[in-house]
Amino acid sequence: MTNPTGEEPPKENDPALPSFLTQPRPIDKVLLSLLAFMTIFSMVMIPLRPNLLVNAPWLVSLLTGSGLGLLITAAQNQGAALMLAALTAVAAASHIKFMAVYFFMGKHWGQDFITWLFANHTPLWWRKLEGFVEKHLFLSLLLGFIPFSPIPATILVAIAGIRKLKGWVIGLYIYLLAIGNKLFYLYLGLRFGEGVQPTLETIDRYMMQITLALIAYVFIMNWWRGSKKKPVQ
């Protein structure tokens, strides 16, 4: 719609969208680009992962921090202690490689990031747990790194950024937690060999399906709410 002078009125920002989307600063553009890259990387790895677990499990651990890849590699190379120690250290670093981005998104975007992540409708389970997480963040991070834990460690790291905690403290802490996580898989590989792999793959597959379902839910709800807010022409 135009005004009497024939000029287009200035567009108003959607109040439902945070400022880092409607008026992004240079740092916001960098973080959004990194978020897009992480999403693409994760989607590309989904079809590649099964084949790599069979043919190059060590590579999966290097690229994604996969515990299953470490387990299989340990089962196949039980005498290579130095190589397994190095792989464990690198896999732990790979596990948390993208969490720094979540920390800085929390630091620069604040609570708006969590609200946007939940499509402006924070679920009941999060509202009930938010107080506990805020009060016991380091314990929550520990629980988030337990193998097959449904607790999203990335959101917890973002909360650490929101609270302006020291980045190096959080980075060192989650790296130690990731080391502990990988040692669990290393132990299983050395102790039980590849026989335990099918059970862990089944659990991992179900957890992946749950994660993808949650991601799909967030995208669908964002699209649905966005379509409802479109102005009538």
Q: Return the pLDDT at 161.
A: 94
In a domain, 157, yes or no: yes
In a domain, 12, yes or no: no
Read off the pLDDT of residues 101-122 as tens digits, 9 standing for 90 and up: 999 999 999 988 888 887 766 7
In a domain, 4, yes or no: no
Which amino acid is present at 168? Answer: W
Please determine, for residue 18, whether its predicted confidence score (pLDDT) is greater than 60.
yes
Read off the pLDDT of residues 157-190 as tens digits, 9 standing for 90 and up: 999 999 999 999 999 999 999 999 999 999 988 8
Q: What is the dihedral of CA 129, 134, 136, 138, to 10 degrees?
A: 110
Per the structure, the count of domains in the chain is: 1
Q: Which long-range contacts (CB under 8 A, 24 or more apart) does 145-148 make?
A: 145/174, 145/177, 145/178, 145/180, 145/181, 146/181, 147/67, 147/181, 147/184, 147/185, 148/203, 148/204, 148/207
Query: Can you list the alpha helix ranges (DSSP code H) found in 56-166?
Result: 57-64, 67-76, 81-95, 99-109, 111-117, 124-135, 137-144, 153-162
In a domain, 59, yes or no: no
In a domain, 15, yes or no: no
In a domain, 230, yes or no: no
Query: Residue 30: which domain range?
Result: 20-46+66-225
Read off the pLDDT of residues 217-229 as tens digits, 9 standing for 90 and up: 666 666 666 566 5
Q: Rounded CA gap, 95 and 90, in Å?
A: 9
In a domain, 78, yes or no: yes
Contacts of 150 (CB under 8 A, 6+ apart): 207, 210
In a domain, 11, yes or no: no
Q: Which residue has the higher pLDDT, 133 or 95?
A: 95
